[in-house]
Amino acid sequence: MRPDALTPELADVVARTRDFVREVVVPAEPPTGEALAPQELSRLRSLAKEAGVWAPVSSADFGGLGLPLPAWSPVLQEAGYSPIGPAVLHCMAPDEGNMHMLSLIATPEQQQEFLAPLVRGEARSCFAMTEPHPGAGSDPSALSTTAYLDGDTWVIEGRKRFISGANDADIAIVMARTPAVRLPDGQERPEGATMFLTRTDAPGWRVGRQIRTTERAIAGGHPYVHLEGLRVPTSAVLGEVGEGFRYAQVRLGPARLTHCMRWLGLARRALDVALDRLEHRELFGQPMRDLGLAQGLVADSVIDLETSDAIIDRTARLLESDPRAGSRMSSVAKVHCAEAIQRVIDRSIQLCGGDGVSEELPLVQYLLEVRPFRIYDGSSETHRWAIARRASSDRRREVEAGTPRLDLVDGTDDGAEHGGGRA
Amino acid sequence: MRPDALTPELADVVARTRDFVREVVVPAEPPTGEALAPQELSRLRSLAKEAGVWAPVSSADFGGLGLPLPAWSPVLQEAGYSPIGPAVLHCMAPDEGNMHMLSLIATPEQQQEFLAPLVRGEARSCFAMTEPHPGAGSDPSALSTTAYLDGDTWVIEGRKRFISGANDADIAIVMARTPAVRLPDGQERPEGATMFLTRTDAPGWRVGRQIRTTERAIAGGHPYVHLEGLRVPTSAVLGEVGEGFRYAQVRLGPARLTHCMRWLGLARRALDVALDRLEHRELFGQPMRDLGLAQGLVADSVIDLETSDAIIDRTARLLESDPRAGSRMSSVAKVHCAEAIQRVIDRSIQLCGGDGVSEELPLVQYLLEVRPFRIYDGSSETHRWAIARRASSDRRREVEAGTPRLDLVDGTDDGAEHGGGRA
Amino acid sequence: MRPDALTPELADVVARTRDFVREVVVPAEPPTGEALAPQELSRLRSLAKEAGVWAPVSSADFGGLGLPLPAWSPVLQEAGYSPIGPAVLHCMAPDEGNMHMLSLIATPEQQQEFLAPLVRGEARSCFAMTEPHPGAGSDPSALSTTAYLDGDTWVIEGRKRFISGANDADIAIVMARTPAVRLPDGQERPEGATMFLTRTDAPGWRVGRQIRTTERAIAGGHPYVHLEGLRVPTSAVLGEVGEGFRYAQVRLGPARLTHCMRWLGLARRALDVALDRLEHRELFGQPMRDLGLAQGLVADSVIDLETSDAIIDRTARLLESDPRAGSRMSSVAKVHCAEAIQRVIDRSIQLCGGDGVSEELPLVQYLLEVRPFRIYDGSSETHRWAIARRASSDRRREVEAGTPRLDLVDGTDDGAEHGGGRA
Amino acid sequence: MRPDALTPELADVVARTRDFVREVVVPAEPPTGEALAPQELSRLRSLAKEAGVWAPVSSADFGGLGLPLPAWSPVLQEAGYSPIGPAVLHCMAPDEGNMHMLSLIATPEQQQEFLAPLVRGEARSCFAMTEPHPGAGSDPSALSTTAYLDGDTWVIEGRKRFISGANDADIAIVMARTPAVRLPDGQERPEGATMFLTRTDAPGWRVGRQIRTTERAIAGGHPYVHLEGLRVPTSAVLGEVGEGFRYAQVRLGPARLTHCMRWLGLARRALDVALDRLEHRELFGQPMRDLGLAQGLVADSVIDLETSDAIIDRTARLLESDPRAGSRMSSVAKVHCAEAIQRVIDRSIQLCGGDGVSEELPLVQYLLEVRPFRIYDGSSETHRWAIARRASSDRRREVEAGTPRLDLVDGTDDGAEHGGGRA
């Protein structure tokens, strides 16, 4: 949703966010390559609460702004204009996606225990799904972590990897494979995947070796997590037993899209850096902004930014009006935005020359922040595969419903070579 | 606007258009490379009127459906699914853009004389702006056709080129440079460009040599037109004297976008051809739809289609809410769509192998239809230049208004190499 | 081989070819979209013989120049600078590839009967391998045409498609599947594919429906051919029974590359058209050659031309020194050149604006000539598949031979998550 | 030059280099993100000398292998297969390019003093040309460092930036602008740029603030250098006074190309990492190496590698046979290779998923090593500009020499609209 299509109330949130990020957050950014100090983060978070821009997409019941989904994009883009903006405004992965899922699926008791402190920023969370090879990486059906029911307690065993934020998390959502089971309340559930809520100080939760990736904006790293007989009560099941993969999709559709929104904001920042450079430099006796080859790079970046913005908006509306179609469209949005965003930052580096690849400017760090996005939340290749399969099956259904095939060629499929034209 | 976001009335128009095109128009398409016979076009147009899908974007006062701009895209995409669809439904360039401009700018008398027969399909029109080198090609400021006032008659002299539809046109809009002038009513007008309405049977209008281009869907070709003392009354001025370029923008913003919509429909058709092919062929012992390299081509095409759809929708909404911003965004949409549409068709050709490059399938003809779109209505390069200049000037204004520059590097701009950090 | 690396004798052939094509052939080209008249082709061929540029890559024993393979590229690029050049100089597909194969594989008697008239230009030939679906298209193992031995006569039954030049061919090479067989001379041969030589006036050879493709430069079209009990003597077997696929590779490696050479010449022509245009036009008050966005297109085209030239040269040398490696490299060259050549022509169209997409300039016709090359001789996708498989198997062999794997990651493959580093 | 085209002696050097790098250097690489310890570098350099692979492209008079230029590529690619390989084998920028220039231009006395210790690895060097804005960055004509003659001493004043290796350099080559001058020997020299040799312990040479860029392989960083009255004798002029830019081209042509060679080796390494991964992982029940989308990425990388190899080889031969043409071709090679190499590494990251963007694998570090190469030694945009200008002027000269223009269109340039065809 473009700011001009927003209600005055929502437009005001966008404007406040924009001002706060540009006037308070940007000047507080740490030097390139360094992390934001925890006490500085706390200070900025307090200011965000005062400014009324705290937790914009999280439940208003617990202190967030509770913006409707189609309004998320302009706000999260403004937040993402600073690499530390989403952390300051508390709309950063993985907390943001976890809060969204809890607000949709958790029971009131679970929300009170797990969601409330998250929204208030008093607790941090992680989402423990990915596993080491040959477990569930891009292919969740390969889940090797298991849970079994021991009386009214679930016991979870397994190993997770790339668990973003696990180092600092107080709360975790764990995905495990559960067998066909009769629950204590007598329900029968088939084999499937189930999500569990746990505190990370529970015995049996152990954070392992840290994996360093290229981005720095997500506090807490991406370590291994060992689940060594982790025990949780049956009340810790999030949603229904066996429905974990379905909920993962509930989480992933919007979560993919909020990544797009935040990183799109950072791409806008990168282009602004380059535009400022072009404005103030000359080459071969001309202002750089007038050099055609530079203009070509700028224009391609604008096109990338605007088409990303448009497909995000389209997908956000769909996620509201038709969640299944929206989830499918989120694959398209994710691939396009992840690649477009990286291109924009790369071109900005190129436009800034030697400074672009040095720490004199923050652009290389921006590149490192966004490079993994082509891989996580489903790699571009996995999404392309899914997009193509859906296109094929949609078309197949149309043809099966009576739409004539369009590929028929005389003499090939029907033998009527001499039929005389395509009549 | 996606069908699901439409009112029931508009959704019904889309559905009727879709059914009519697929059930009536597609089966009536001529063989690849051949033109639709005029009497067949007439027959189909009558059916379109009967089916209530005639002139969807033209004035309801004169017999069109008068759809609001944000609803054009789904309808024109359905029309464009057949290369003859827009001609049959009477939403084809150049008539469609001319009708739109006349409905916005023409006087009631002019509308009665020129617009009414156009909307009813009883007359055809052309738009005579482009000139031979070194006149106004991509660069309208170089206009060399001139008009001078002789009493209360304008006399137009010049030569035009690439005047689409001129062969069959009954009505023309002519752009000419006019001097600073005192009008018969006493008004003083500065030098500028002016649009004139004329009938093509007027003395002084002569259609010259035909220029054959690659597309076949626009009846009437793209000939030279010689204006040899063409005389029109002062009442034939369209809008104000000297405001021609401003009106050209009024015409071009939506006209660019309706091209995008129609060709996007054709690109969807091309992908459907390829999907049908993949469904029914095997290669190396596998259904082609399961071959990863083919899936990659399909997915890239879906991404191109959906991002084009989204940026068209975004631009159409803007053209309504903020025409100037919409006109600027139409540059972005035009470049993206023109290139994306060609890629989709090219990939479909590739997926169909030898048949793809033969006349066994219509795909090469589709490619020829859309190839010029990267050039007309402003080439991709001209739009990129404009997009980059606007990005630079927008950012410059922000910085001038107080936003801090983001490109400052120690020791480069301020000499303070040892200033110690980026504070 | 670049002209500067040639012997003086070969450099002289290149220079003569260049002069002949530019001074004699180019001025004789038919108008855009029209075919060269047969008598004009004959006249030009006589001039080519007189000028000593006839059949440059064909056997000197029968009247060709017999150039060594690494010298082909500069000559064929000069020939290809005109779309009718290769036909005039008699180095055009399919004759050129057929002559090459016959000179390598045919017996002296076969050469006398079939090769000699071909080289002299008194006969034309075709290569009948491709079949209608589900026969051998891109996937030769699916060959459905069969031959069986009846005494000392082979009887061939089947249907071929896309047989370039079949309309005008006097001579054909036919690929058919042969069963395990005891030959009249007592040899036992396993099941396989076999190549047969035949005259096209033999009973049982029937040319079927024409398939029109986009290119116009290959006389004779691409029809169906019906083999209806075609009988040929055992002496008509080309090479050994059952070795047809191996010979097809012999033919295809160089044949792919000579296509690259010829079309690269045409791409150079296209760029010259655009450069001339840029030199003589102005836009926005600047010579177009100085506009950065145009310069970007020109530079990308030069890069495409030079890298194509270099990989062709590399492959030609390899085909001489190590035919198997050369044949593999020809996949790389083919994909790169086919795509690069099309890009160059497409950019030249773009640089020429409206004239670029009209028949005022020949560029669109050039595009249509080269578009199929991304599909025939193995589509880009089929070659990419083959290239990837070879890269995988080459690397696998290296690792099996003791090279350490480079992908090992702690904690993933060996469980030693806490092993402390990558030692 | 491909190994198979080498003399046995040269092939042996390639094989020895390959074995040494893979068996000695690769196992000694530091963990991802860490620098090689100086003592370990010394140890490896000793081993390189023992193995007969030391300083392969440097003068044999002083201890290098003195390979001829067309043989450099296979050796430097093997060296570059390890990111520390070129430093170990002493064929790393900037020393390698400096040694090359000194061997071509320096006097015997200068060679003894400056070149000999460099080749032996006893001294390090830097090349001080680039300056802070608005001095000579990509645009050398803007050189702001100046030198004036004071008796028989040159006094140099100025500020340099991005001087790779300056931190550890013992020897420097400094580029400065010199006025029209009468030399002590009576020669008159016009204004121009001049190169000077100096030791870095000379008064007036001061290394300033370090600029951190993304690559780690060049020891010594890229600091500012302040020239504060640096005095050197007239015997320290490298070559002729005023000829500095010409020599810079002498240096840059091959230096650009050796960068291409080394980084191409690293790109091969990256692809090998990915191939090993694909060989040992499964996704969706298939070996990853058989997934078409992965195969597409692999094939595109092979095409990038082989075309880069071929254009490097082409350019190296030209630099020997026709240095001016070779220097021009080096622009083409540089742009293509810099972009192709980055694409290969980026695709390898993508193929390795989460590990690809973590420090579990070295691929992100490889990306950071090569990203600046699209900027230094002339950015891709600057080279594109130069390539386009040369293409335009080459073609202009052809036309001026009598070749007919190819862009003439009836009715546009000559007014003969009705001339009837393109005769």
CA of A409 to nearest chain B CA: how many angstroms apart? 6
pLDDT winner (highest mean) among A403-412, B307-316, C317-326, C406-415: B307-316
Q: What is the DSSP letter of B358?
A: B
Yes or no, beta carbons of D271 and C391 under 8 Å apart:
yes
DSSP calls for B37-88: PHHHHHHHHHHHHHHT-SSTTS-GGGTS----GGGHHHHHHHHHTSTTHHHH
For residue C213, the model assigns a pLDDT of: 82
Q: Quick one: pLDDT at residue D218?
A: 54
| CB contact (8 A) between residue B350 and residue C281 | no
Residues of D in contact with B295 (CB under 8 A): 292-293
Domains of chain C listed by start with CATH number: 3-92 (1.10.540.10), 125-242 (2.40.110.10), 246-400 (1.20.140.10)
Say if residues B276 and A409 touch (Cβ distance below 8 Å): no
Using a CB-CB cut-off of 8 Å, the residues of chain A touching B406 are 269, 272-273, 276
pLDDT at D411 over 70: no
Interface test with D, best of A214, A370, A389 (most D CBs within 10 A): A214
User: What is d(CA A193, CA C392) in angstroms, rounded to the nearest whole number?
Assistant: 35
Q: How far apart are CA D143 and CA D130, in angstroms?
A: 8
SS3 C121: coil
The secondary structure of residue B203, as a DSSP letter, is: T
Which of A117, A151, A145, A287 minimizes the C-alpha distance to A227?
Answer: A145
Counted across chains B and D, CB pairs separated by less than 8 A come out at 47
pLDDT score for D138: 56
Q: What is the pLDDT of residue D247?
A: 87
Bridge-partner residues for D90, per DSSP?
none
Tell me the chain A residues in contact with residue D379 when contact means C-beta distances shorter than 8 Å: 350, 353
CB of A161 within 8 Å of a chain C CB? The answer is: yes
Query: What does the longest C-alpha to C-alpha distance in chain D come to?
Result: 81
Of D224, D293, D295, the CB nearest to B417: D224
Cβ neighbours around C183 below 10 Å, total:
14
Strand duo A125-128 + A171-178: pairing: parallel
Q: Tens digits of per-residue pLDDT, B46-104?
A: 999 999 999 999 999 999 999 998 899 999 999 999 999 999 999 999 999 999 999 99
Residue B251 Cα to chain centre, angstroms: 9
The amino acid present at D241, given as its one-letter code, is V
The minimum CA-CA distance between B94 and chain A, rounded to whole Å, is 27
Q: Which residues of B touch C33 (CB under 8 A)?
A: 212
Those residues of chain C that have pLDDT short of 70 are 1-4, 137-141, 216-220, 410-423
ipTM of this complex > 0.90?
A: yes
Q: What residue spans of C121-162 are helical by DSSP H?
A: none
Three-state SS at C407: coil
**Residue B215 pLDDT more than 80?**
no
Tell if the CB–CB gap between B412 and D295 is shorter than 8 Å: no
- Whether residues B293 and D294 touch (CB distance < 8 A) is answered with no
Q: How far apart are CA C14 and CA C72, in angstroms?
A: 9
Q: Which of B72, B16, B116 is nearest to B257 (CA)?
A: B72
* CA-based nearest residue to B71, from B14, B111, B20: B14
Place of tokens 């989460």: D354
Would you state the structure tokens that stand for residue D56, as one six-digit string? 């392969």
Give the one of D349, D364, D375 whose C-beta lies nearest to A350's C-beta: D375
Instruction: Give the integer Cα–Cα distance in Å for C90 and C262.
Output: 12
Partner-chain contact D209 B411, CB within 8 Å: yes
CA distances from D92 to D58, D100, D260 (A): 11, 11, 12
CA nearest A203: which of A244, A155, A164? Answer: A155
Indicate the SS3 state at residue B310: helix
pLDDT > 70? residue B266:
yes
Tokens of C393: 């198997």
Q: How far apart are CA A271 and CA A292, in angstroms?
A: 16
Residue (of D406, B373, B160) closest to C357 by Cα position: B373
List all residues 6 or more positions away from B18 whose beta carbon is below 8 Å from its beta carbon.
B78, B81
Counting one residue from chain C and one from chain D, the pairs whose CB atoms sit within 8 A come to: 186
pLDDT digits (tens, 9 = 90+) for D288-316: 999 999 999 999 999 999 999 999 999 99
- How confident is the prediction for chain B on average, in pLDDT? 91
pLDDT of residue D212: 83
Tell me if D417 and B133 make a contact (CB, 8 A cut-off).
no
Q: Does C350 touch chain B (CB under 8 A)?
A: yes
Contact A306 B329 (CB under 8 A): yes
One DSSP character per residue, A165-223 reads TGGG-SEEEEEEEE-SEE-TTS-EE-SEEEEEEEETTSTTEEE-----BS--SSTT---
The total of other beta-carbon atoms located within 10 Å of residue C223's CB is 23
Contacts of D294 in chain B (CB under 8 A): 292
What helix, strand, coil percent values describe chain C, rounded to 5?
Answer: 55, 15, 35
Indicate yes or no: CB of A387 within 8 angstroms of CB of B298.
yes
Rg (CA), chain D: 24
pLDDT of residue C133: 82
CB contact under 8 A, C411 and A132: yes
Q: Tally Cβ neighbours within 10 Å of residue C32.
A: 19
Task: Report how far residue A362's alpha carbon sits from residue A370's, in angstroms, rounded to the nearest whole number.
Answer: 13
Exposure string for A291-321, b = 16+ CB within 10 A, e = fewer: bbbbbbbbbbbbbbbbbbbbbbbbbbbbbee
How far is the C-alpha of D56 from the C-alpha of D85, rounded, in Å?
12
Task: Say how far apart CA D115 and CA A106 lie, in whole Å.
Answer: 73
> Inter-chain contact A296–C291, Cβ cutoff 8 Å?
no
What pLDDT is stored for residue B412 in this prediction?
A: 45
Do the bridges between strand D171-178 and strand D125-128 make them parallel or antiparallel, or are there none, so unpaired? parallel
Confidence bin at A185 (pLDDT 50/70/90): confident
Q: In what helix (H) or strand (E) does residue B19 lie, and over which residues does it extend?
A: helix B8-20
Tens of pLDDT, residues A88-113: 999 999 999 999 999 999 999 999 99
Which chain B residues have a beta carbon less than 8 Å from that of C384? 293
Residue with tokens 């005095």: D231
- Mark yes or no for CB contact A391/B302 under 8 Å: yes
Residue D294 touches chain C, beta carbons under 8 Å: yes
Q: Does D277 touch chain A (CB under 8 A)?
A: no
User: In which band, very low, low, confident or very high, does the pLDDT at B210 lie, cut at 50, 70 and 90?
Assistant: confident
What is the three-state SS of chain D?
A: CCHHHCCHHHHHHHHHHHHHHHHHHHHHCCCCCCCCCHHHHHHHHHHHHHCCCCCCCCCHHHCCCCCCHHHHHHHHHHHHCCCCHHHHHCCCCCHHHHHHHHHHHCCHHHHHHHHHHHHHCCCCEEEECCCCCCCCCCCHHHCCCEEEEECCEEEEEEEECCCCCHHHCCEEEEEEEECCEECCCCCEECCEEEEEEEECCCCCEEECCCCCECCCCCCCCCCCEEEEEEEEEHHHEECCCCEHHHHHHHHHHHHHHHHHHHHHHHHHHHHHHHHHHHHHCEECCEEHHHCHHHHHHHHHHHHHHHHHHHHHHHHHHHHHHCHHHHHHHHHHHHHHHHHHHHHHHHHHHHHCHHHHCECCCCHHHHHHHHHHHHCCCCCHHHHHHHHHHHHHHHHHHHHHCCCCCCCCCCCCCCCCHHHCCCC
Please provide the average confidence, as pLDDT, over all residues in chain D.
Answer: 91
Return the pLDDT at A41: 94
Q: Dihedral through CA C60, CA C65, CA C68, CA C70, nearest 10?
A: -160
Provide, as residue numbers in chain B, all residues whose Cβ is less than 8 Å from the Cβ of D422. Answer: none
Report CB contact under 8 Å: D276, C406: yes
Model confidence pLDDT, tens digit, residues B319-330? 999 988 999 999
Collapsing DSSP states into helix, strand and coil, what is residue A147? strand
CA gap B220, D64 in Å, rounded? 73
- Of D130, D284, D375, nearest to A356 by CB-CB distance is D375
What is the C-alpha radius of gyration for chain A, rounded to an integer number of angstroms?
A: 24
Kindly give, in sequence order, each residue whose CB lies less than 8 Å from that of residue C373, ignoring residues fewer than 6 positions away: C259, C263, C338, C341, C342
Output the pLDDT for position A410.
62
Residues 6+ apart with CB under 8 A from D414: D408
Helices marked H in C240-291: 244-280
Which of A353, A379, A385 comes nearest D353 by C-beta?
A: A379
Subunits adjacent to chain C (3 or more Cβ pairs under 8 Å): A, B, D
The alpha carbon of residue A293 is apart from the nearest alpha carbon of chain D, in Å, by 6
| D294 contact A CB<8A | yes
Contact at CB, B374 and C297, closer than 8 angstroms? no
- Helix (H) or strand (E) segment spanning residue C398: helix C380-400
Q: How do residues B183-199 score in pLDDT, each as one tens digit? A: 888 889 999 999 999 99
Among C277, C313, C405, beta carbon nearest to D276: C405
Whether the predicted pLDDT of B12 surpasses 80: yes
pLDDT at D137: 63
Angstroms from C423 CA to nearest CA on chain A: 16
B134 upstream amide cis, omega within 30 of 0: yes
Q: Count the neighbouring beta carbons within 10 Å of the beta carbon of residue A327.
A: 19
Contact yes or no for B353 and C379 at CB 8 A: yes
Q: Give me the amino acid identity at A75.
A: V
Which one of D293, D412, D417 has the shortest CB-CB distance to B133? D412
pLDDT score at B350: 97
Could you say which of C208, C292, C417 has the minimum Cβ distance to residue A292?
C292
Choose the closest CB to B272 out of A4, A22, A406.
Answer: A406
